[in-house]
């Protein structure tokens, strides 16, 4: 018993001595705390929080559809609404793996109407050559220039008609590879983005077929000149909700033989885009143009792309379409003021025109639309931007289609104040 007691006392004594030996001095404690705080700061520096808020006052003619506020009441003629067009909050976390950047992004849309996820994706770059990166999640589709162009930088209140119809909400669920040489490489001006997407916009994936989207671009900069060129391809399909599938034969829709529920109608787009920026004594001049054409399945009343949580149950109408837009932005010297002009056009059915619409089973989904917009921008500082923009809308007219015998009264004026952080 004495031996056990003596042994225990010796063990306790040894532990006490060791504890005294590892006890940190005040200076060491300070250094350890400094290292802990430094590590915490390093991790916080990897996280970036950004966003913007767009507050709109809109005036619309009686046939217009405004982007803020409620729909026009039956008792209203011309009408006015105020509201938040966009409220974005974005979290970006960036890190390095073997010297290659990796990023995770979560962006949310918050307005008085709803709160929803806008983007949610990660990007991983291979560390060996740093030429290839993989992106997966909900993100912008790699088609053209206008779609991935940030709404906070856009010089007009909305994207062009073709983009809004063909690519609702701009984003889609999928995975994409980006191939681009490092900045110091001669091939860096070239960039290829290519991937597979669900083809259903913001909604969940609802069928087996996936859409392939690619964009090849070239960009070059000089002292006072920058230009870019791009080509896009979209190969996909739209689920047929019924066996009633129609396509154009001459000037009328005819039913397709042997069409089946659950088959797919081709959804194929081709696109070209170009950008030119020139700096002179008159200020920065920006010219952008984009064209897209192809095959777009839709319903009788519209040609919108899929963006629903369930499979369609309506008949399918196959159409050949064409759309394009042209932007001209002129800064006024070296001031904070700019003038904007845009023309955009979307023809959902290039087989028809004028009074041919409304005959042969065709309808309002075949009406072409054109817009001319003029605007003014005032960049108050790095955070605030004021926009005044008047959009004049013109539609194709047909004496054979009720409601489209004359041009609709659907012009819209937008006054927007944006705060970006």
DSSP secondary structure string for all residues of 36-53 = HHHHHHHHHHTEEEEEEE
Q: What is the distance between the alpha carbons of residues 256 and 47, in angstroms, rounded to a whole number?
A: 54
pLDDT bin (cut points 50, 70, 90) of residue 30 is confident
Q: Are 57 and 414 in contact (CB under 8 A)?
A: yes
The pLDDT value recorded for residue 44 is: 80
Task: Report the helix count and the strand count for the chain, using DSSP H and E.
Answer: 3, 18
Tokens of 366: 């075949």
Mean pLDDT, rounded, for 238-246: 97
Q: What is the distance between the alpha carbons of residues 133 and 143, in angstroms, rounded to a whole number?
A: 17
pLDDT at 279 over 80: yes
pLDDT at 119 over 50: yes
Closest CA to 123 of 143, 94, 145: 94
Pick the CATH number of 42-69+80-420 from 2.40.160.10, 1.10.1740.10, 1.10.760.10, 3.20.20.140: 2.40.160.10
**pLDDT tens for residues 374-415?**
999 999 999 999 999 999 999 999 999 999 999 999 999 999
Q: What is the distance between the alpha carbons of residues 12 and 304, in angstroms, rounded to a whole number?
A: 79
What's the mean pLDDT when you consider all of the chain?
93
Could you tell me the CA-to-CA distances from 103 to 59, 99, 124, 153, 338 in Å, in that order?
A: 41, 13, 7, 22, 34
Q: What is the distance between the alpha carbons of residues 184 and 187, in angstroms, rounded to a whole number?
A: 9
pLDDT bin (cut points 50, 70, 90) of residue 22 is low
pLDDT bin (cut points 50, 70, 90) of residue 1 is very low
Mean pLDDT, rounded, for 177-181: 98
Q: What is the distance between the alpha carbons of residues 189 and 169, in angstroms, rounded to a whole number?
A: 28
Q: Are 114 and 85 in contact (CB under 8 A)?
A: no
31 or 258, greater pLDDT: 258
The pLDDT value recorded for residue 88 is: 98
pLDDT at 292 over 70: yes
Burial of 302 (0-12, 13-18, 19+ CB in 10 A): middle
Q: Are 355 and 366 in contact (CB under 8 A)?
A: no
**Sign of the CA dihedral 313, 315, 319, 321?**
negative
Beta-bridge mates of residue 95: 102
41 or 413, greater pLDDT: 413
pLDDT bin (cut points 50, 70, 90) of residue 74 is confident
Closest CA to 288 of 364, 353, 369, 342: 342
Beta strand 264-280 with 211-221 is unpaired
pLDDT at 21 over 80: no
pLDDT at 4 over 70: no
pLDDT bin (cut points 50, 70, 90) of residue 265 is very high
The pLDDT value recorded for residue 11 is: 46
């Amino acid at each position: 018993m004495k031996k056990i007691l003596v042994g225990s006392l010796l063990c306790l004594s040894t532990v006490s001595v060791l504890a005294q030996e590892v006890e940190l001095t005040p200076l060491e404690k300070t250094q350890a705390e400094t290292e802990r705080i430094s590590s915490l700061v390093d991790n916080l520096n990897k996280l970036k929080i950004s966003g913007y808020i767009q507050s709109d006052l809109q005036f619309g003619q009686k046939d217009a559809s405004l982007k803020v506020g409620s729909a026009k009441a039956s008792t209203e003629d011309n009408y006015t609404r105020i509201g938040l067009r966009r409220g974005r909050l974005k979290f970006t976390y960036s890190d390095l793996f073997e010297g290659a950047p990796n990023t995770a992004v979560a962006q949310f849309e918050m307005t008085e109407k709803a709160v929803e996820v806008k983007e949610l994706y990660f990007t991983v770059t291979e560390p060996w050559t740093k030429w290839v990166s993989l992106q997966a999640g909900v993100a912008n589709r790699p088609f053209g220039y206008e779609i991935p162009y940030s709404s906070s930088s856009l010089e007009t209140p909305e994207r062009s008609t073709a983009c809004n119809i063909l690519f609702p909400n701009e984003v889609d669920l999928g995975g994409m590879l980006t191939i681009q040489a490092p900045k110091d490489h001669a091939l860096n001006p070239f960039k290829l983005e290519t991937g597979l997407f669900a083809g259903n916009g913001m909604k969940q994936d609802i069928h087996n077929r996936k859409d392939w989207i690619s964009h090849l671009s070239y960009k070059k900069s000089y002292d006072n000149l920058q230009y870019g060129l791009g080509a896009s391809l979209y190969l996909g399909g739209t689920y047929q909700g019924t066996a009633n599938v129609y396509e154009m034969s001459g000037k009328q829709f005819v039913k397709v033989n042997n069409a089946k529920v659950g088959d797919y109608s081709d959804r194929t787009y081709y696109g070209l885009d170009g950008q030119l920026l020139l700096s002179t004594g008159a200020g920065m001049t920006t010219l952008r143009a984009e064209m897209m054409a192809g095959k777009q399945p839709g319903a009788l009343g519209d040609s919108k792309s899929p963006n629903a949580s369930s499979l369609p149950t309506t008949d399918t109408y196959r159409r050949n379409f064409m759309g394009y837009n042209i932007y001209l932005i002129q800064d006024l010297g070296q001031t904070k003021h700019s003038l904007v002009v845009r023309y955009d056009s979307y023809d959902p059915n290039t087989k028809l025109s004028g009074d041919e619409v409304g005959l042969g089973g065709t309808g309002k989904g075949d009406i072409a639309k054109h817009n001319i917009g003029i605007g003014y921008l005032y960049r108050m500082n790095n955070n605030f931007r004021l926009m005044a923009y008047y959009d004049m809308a013109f539609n194709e007219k047909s004496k054979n289609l009720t409601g489209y015998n004359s041009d609709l009264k659907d012009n819209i004026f937008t006054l927007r104040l944006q705060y970006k952080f």
